[in-house]
Amino acid sequence: MSADDLRSYRQKRDFSKTAEPYGANRGGGNRFVVHKHHATADHYDLRLELDGVLKSWAVPKGPSLNPADKRLAIATEDHPIDYIDFEGVIPEGEYGGGPMIVWDTGVWAPMGDAQADIGKGAFKFRLAGEKLNGGWMLTRLKGRPEDGGKQNWLLFKERDPAMDTQVDILEARPESVKSGLHIEELVAPPPPAPAQPAKRTRPQPGKLTGAVKAPMPETLELQLASPANEPPKPSDRVNWLHEIKFDGYRTAAFVEDGTARLITRGGLDWTKRYGDLPKVFGDLPCRQALIDGEIVVLDEKGISRFGMLQDALGSGDTNRLVFYAFDLLHLDGWDLRAVPLVKRKGLLAQLLSGAVTPSSAIQYSDHVEGDGEALYEQVSELGLEGIVSKRADSPYLPGRSSNWLKIKALKTGEFVIAGYSESEKAGGIGALAAAQWVDDELVYRGKVGTGLDATTMRSLHARLEQLRVPDKLEGAPREILPVRPVLTARIQYSTITTDGMLRHAAFKGLREAELTTESTGPVQRIISDADLAGIWVTNPTRRLFGKSGPTKLDIAVYYASVGDYMLPHLFDRPVSLFRCPSSKLADCFFQRHPFTGMPQTVKAFETQNSEGEKKTFITVEDAKAYLALAQFGVVEFHVWGTHESHLDKPDRVIFDLDPGEGIAWREVVEAAVHVKGELEGMGLVPFVKTTGGKGVHVVVPITQKLGWKAMHQASSAIASQLAASARDTFVTTMGAENRKGRIFIDYHRNARSATAVAAYSLRARPHLPASTPVSWRDLESIDSPGDLNYTSLPRLLSTSGDPWAAINESCRDLQP
């Protein structure tokens, strides 16, 4: 806001009398608000956050969802960003005196260049609020002398799924979305009463039926919710409590004598990781407590956002963390797990009442009792995750049961973008073609034409143009232009029909990784222009792994693009090659030894194994050898943890974290971060990379002092120590049955001649994911390791650099 505009705004108001904001926040977001204002004349104020101010229009009759209704909108002075949350009574005699409520709020996006369109007098935009959604238009009227210099506009709804020609939204939804009050209920606040010291009543858990005198447990197996399609209906026999479903880290808080241990769902102790959050539990009026809850970060609308939680933890900004408490399982020597849930929550509310304020880092997760349909509908309107419905009379039972049900507000899935249709009118993209992988083939799931704002449409159109392929997408309409299936979109939809098509689908954003590691300097060129000019690939258009798979040339181009990053981790290391000579995955095989016709610059060397047998292996010695291997169908590179020059003195230890059945990617990340902390406690410097599959490799550079046998024994001991630090999370015994619900720490790659997939190597799967080194901070921001693939990774590396650039300077002694 300019100094003159802000001065004008302030001069109209006496801030000793009005609670309106003084105007200090510069903002920088894309929020909007519609205020309902009872002043000299009743009206509604539409305000859009733009370039540090709230662009404002007074709409006397209010907005209408009927496109036929053209409502007068009078441009008013810009307001400061702080005004967006203002609700209250402006005192009589003050400018605009009268009550004002936040009738609607949310986020908005222009369909073009906002400032230019406002200047032209034809301004299209989209709203995503609690009451107003979809496309809207402001068109400026020609000025008349009787208007007195005012800019008069017309506001009207565009024809789209959010329009409604039957409902008068002003009558149907008169309440404030902030407080729930009608404007008639808003009165000037009375003068503050003298402050009285708060009285705390210590809860008495022993009086509850089912409470058992017992010491507080050392660990807790959490109760989990089973999925359901709709909220359960109450009956004469069963009553239900319905809570908002949070998007964060499920956490058990073990509180003792003013301190707390915060334990993740997987049983990992993350107390230190949460900064000062554990200290706030010291304000609770108890000696001991075991509280079940969720750690989240809230956005400006109070909605939990997992991405914001990842950012906060990655940057160390733990002051933004909030612990939402929803169950109390132990209190001051009493085990409450057999007490009915409704009684446990009542006791929890009493425990928190003296310590919780609206700004506290601990909050009580409230609930709706009885029929949860209204809460479910409200959650759906707000775009929240969903609700959790719990039997009011149920005890706390470990594991998953039907006593707790989780109901997603709307189904949200991840679908491959397999093509698009063009539309000049819509800004380049008419609709996206959504698809899914089924048995390594793409299956078309329908078009997605809503949810794309102008900015996203332009950037996505530019990217998709670069991914165009000539092949037709089977099952898609003729107007669909196929693209390489490497981008994944989050799609919200109501259902998938019997013929496999999405219904009521809306685009919610791309799912893709971002690497934030800053380059320490220019990347040293290893592959020269002469090397690139010498690439020769026969049958370059032959597709691998099905009709929608990558071509042989795609693989060659990828390795040429990432070679400067990959080769420092590949040169001179004994290597095994995974070759795919045909388009069928079944024909792929490992090549560990020299082969007929291999490039001359691939070096063969001879060594003896532990039985004294002579074995010949291969290494990649220069860029020409590396690039030439694409001609031989090489898709994957697997390396030893040492160099040929010091073959029997390994320099890297690998802990392969391989998740068993039932372990989600987020849990693997949690486990990897825990392993990092344990290894650092041993004086080691761990690095991490994705495997290109479901797990991660934690890689530790070591000095070249131990032989293979001693190093394998040392890594075995460390793996056992890691497993002991979280027995419910890790296992070191091989076998699928042993790792069910756990993560297998595979240390057997630390034996002589054992290999692990190389840094930046592709994996032989239809979308060619890569085993990608990442920073520890970036690891937590990755939604799916498959997003790091043969098309996305070269672009990401060009801006981020190699997070393993300093790995060789981080070697430490490994204790035998």
CA distance 767 to 791: 9
Please, what is the end-to-end C-alpha distance for the chain in angstroms? Answer: 65
In sequence order, the β-bridge partners of residue 74 are 58, 152
One-letter identity of residue 232: P
Would you state the structure tokens that stand for residue 255, as one six-digit string? 């509180």
Q: What is the rounded distance in angstroms from the CA atom of residue 395 to the CA atom of residue 210?
A: 9
Take residue 53 and report the two structure tokens written for it: 């101010």
**How far apart are alpha carbons 788 and 794 in whole angstroms?**
9
780 vs 249: CA distance, rounded Å:
12
SS3 at position 262: strand
The reply to whether 17 belongs to the active site is no
- Name beta bridge partners: 438: 441
Report the alpha-carbon distance of residue 372 to residue 159 in Å, rounded.
Answer: 32
**Where are any strands of DSSP class E within 199-311?**
212-213, 223-228, 240-244, 249-256, 259-264, 288-296
Cβ neighbours for 598, distance < 8 A, ≥ 6 positions apart: 618, 632
Between strands 249-256 and 259-264, the pairing is antiparallel
Of 36, 131, 245, 552, the catalytic one is 245
Contact (Cβ atoms closer than 8 angstroms) between residue 92 and residue 116: no
Q: Are 496 and 439 in contact (CB under 8 A)?
A: no
Cβ-Cβ contacts under 8 Å for 194 (sequence gap 6 or more): none
Q: Report yes or no: 105 and 22 within 8 Å, Cβ to Cβ.
A: no
**What is the Cα–Cα distance from 200 to 222, expressed in whole angstroms?**
30
- How many residues would you count in the chain? 816
DSSP secondary structure letter of residue 64: -
Sequential DSSP letters for 327-342: EEEEETTEE-TTS-HH
Q: Are 202 and 358 in contact (CB under 8 A)?
A: no
- CB distance 25 to 81 below 8 Å: yes
Q: Which positions are annotated as active-site residues?
A: 245
